[in-house]
Structure 1
Amino acid sequence: MLDLDRFPRLALLDRPTPIQPLDRLSAHLGAALNGVRMFVKRDDVAGIGGGGNKLRKLEFLLGAARAEGADTVITVGALQSNHARLTAAAAARAGFACELFLTRSVPRDDPAYTGNGNRFLDDLFGARVHELPGDADSWAAAEARADALRAEGRRVYVFPSGGSSPVGCLGYAACAAEILAQSTAMGVAFARVLVANGSAGTHAGLAAGLFAVGRDPRLAKSYAVLATQAHAEAETLAKANATLALLRPGAVLSSADIVIDGGHRGSGYGIPTDGMREAVRMMARSEGVLLDPVYSGKAFAGLLYDVRSGRYRPGDAVLFLMTGGVPGLFAYASAFANAER
C-alpha cells in the first residue's frame, strides 16, 4: 500500500481512468495478434486542458507549489510540449500565474507547427510563453526568470520538462497502484504495462510505485521517443530511484529493473516514422481513439511490432498507457497528408 497522503496534492482528474479492451483493433489484426489480448488505459480522457498523463504529475507538483505558498509556476519543454500545455491549463484552473520556456527542439518553422496544436493552446490558457532556440538552456533561463520574479516579491515554483521531478513522478507511482487494483478487479493479470518514454518520469514513477508495493518493476516497459536508449535507461533509473527514496527510503532499483526499447524513435524526437503513421491510423480507424504523433504513436508502433514478432505468448494481456497529446496531431497534419492513406 502506498502512503501518498503525506504529500500535498491538488486534484486535477477523476480516478481511476478507465481500462478498455481493444476489441476492434484486435479483430483487425486477426492472426497477426498471435492470441495476445490488448487493453488501453485512458489517461488521455481527463477533463482539464485536453487531457493527458502530465495531469497526474501536476497534481503533486501544484500541490507542492500551493503548500509552499507559490503564486507563479514556471516550467520548460519543447515548442509543442504536451506538458507545457497542461501546466498552463492546470495553473489556470488552480489560480497560478504560469510562464513557459519553450525550445525549438524540432527542425520545423512552418505555421502549423509554430502556431497550432499545443502552442496555440498555451496562449489560450493564458500562459506567458518565452520561445528559445533549440540549443538554448531553457532550465537556466527559467531559473533566471524565477529569480527576477522573486526579486519583485513573487513566490515562484519551478519544475522540469515533463514534470519529471521526484515529486512529479509520484503521480505515476500512484498510477501503478491504481493499475494493480484495476487488474485485480477485472481478473486480468497484465504481462506488461507499456508507455512512451520522453522525459522518463512516467516510466520512472511506474517502476518506483511497483517496487514500493512489492511488485516486479519490470512489469513496466517503455519505448524511447526523445533520447537514445542508453540515455533513456540512465535517466529513467535515476528518476525512479529518486522517486523511490520518497516512498521507501533506502530501497534501490538496479539497471536490470528498467526495461526500455529504443528501436522505434526513428531519426529523432518529433520526427515522424512510418510505424507511427500506421499506428495512429490503425487506432483511429478501428477504435476511434487518437494517438499523438510524438509519444504514444511511436510507442504503440513499438507494441504492434512486438506483438507481430511473437514477443508475447498467446493469451498474454498487455496494457498500453494512453498518455494523451492529441492537440499535437494538428501540428503534424502534413506528416499524414502526403503519406499512403
Structure 2
Amino acid sequence: MELIDLTLIWIAIIGLGVFMYVLMDGFDLGVGILFPFAPDEEARDTMMNTVAPVWDGNETWLILGGAGLLAAFPLVYAVFLPALYIGVFLLLAGLIFRGVAFEFRFKANRSKYLWNWSFFGGSLVASFAQGAVVGAYIQGFEVDGFTYVGGPLDWLTPFTVMTGLALVCGYTLLGATWLILKTEGALQDWAYSVARWMLGAVMLFFAVISIWTPLAEARVMERWLGNIEWLWIFPLVTLAAAAWLWQAIEKRREGIPFIATLTLFITFYAGLLISMWPLAVPPEHTFWDAASAPESQLFLLLGVLFITPVILGYTAWTYWVFRGKVRAGEGYH
C-alpha cells in the first residue's frame, strides 16, 4: 500500500496549473476582447502595454497543466483530444493569432487596424473555446471503456455555448479590472464603466448556469443535494464577492476590483471542482482510473517539483519589475 497517493499530488499540481492560467492569462484575454471598444488608438496602445511584459509568461501555466495532464493522466488525453479536437484547435489558433498581433501591431502603420482585429479575434475565440471545453467537461463524454465513441461536434451544445459566453464575460470583467489597476485618466474611467456592465453579465450567467447544470446533469444534482448543509457557503461567498466588487467600483478603488474579481473566479473554480469530483472523464472515470503508473508519476514528479518554484519565482519577479501604472507613450514596446 502506498504511503503517499501520487495521484492526489498530481491532481493538485494540474489543478494549480489550470487555475493559475485562468487567473493570469484571463485578464490579458479580457483586455484583447475589449480592444475594439477602447476610446481611441492611444488607449489601445496603453492597453496592450499593460499586458505586453507578462502575457507570454502567463501561458507557461497552460503548458505546465497540459504537459502534466498528458504525463499523469493519459486516459484524459485519450478521450479529450478526439472529443474536443475542434475546440482545442480553436483555442490554440486564437492564442496564436493573439501572440502574432502582440509583436506585429507595434511595427505596423497602415495595417495596424488588421492587427487590432487579430488581437481581438484571437482573444475572443480562445476565451470562448476555453469556456465551451469546460462546459463539455461538465456534460460528460460518450465512452466505451477507455475509448471515445462520440462525434466530433458533440462538445458543441446549447449548454457549452452558454459556458463559452460566460467565460468571455468573465475574462472581460477581469480585463476591465486589470485596466482599472494599471491605467489612469479617461481610459481608467472607461474601464470602470465596462466593469459595472460586465459584473452584471457575469452574475446573470452565474445564475443561469447554476440552475441549468443540476437540471441537465443528474450527478451534479445528486452531489449538491447530498451536501446541501455546507455547499450553500459557495453561492453566499460568490454573492459577497460580487457585492464587494460593486462597492469597490462605485468608490473608485483601484486595486480592490481586480482582487474581488479574482475572488469570484476562485469561487467559480471551487464550485466546479466540488461538483465534478472525483471524475476526470465524466460520467464514468475518476482520476484514479485515468492515472498513469505510480512509477511514471513519481519520475515526472521530481522534475515538476523542481520547475514549479522556478516558474513561481520568475512570474513574481516579472510582475514586481513591471508594477505600477502604464501611461500613454510608455510601456514595454
TM-score, normalised to structure 1's length?
Answer: 0.28
Which one has the bigger strand percentage? 1
Which one has the bigger helix percentage? 2
Higher relative contact order (CA 8 A, sep 6+): 2
TM-score, normalised to structure 2's length?
Answer: 0.28
Q: Which structure would you say has the larger Rg?
A: 2
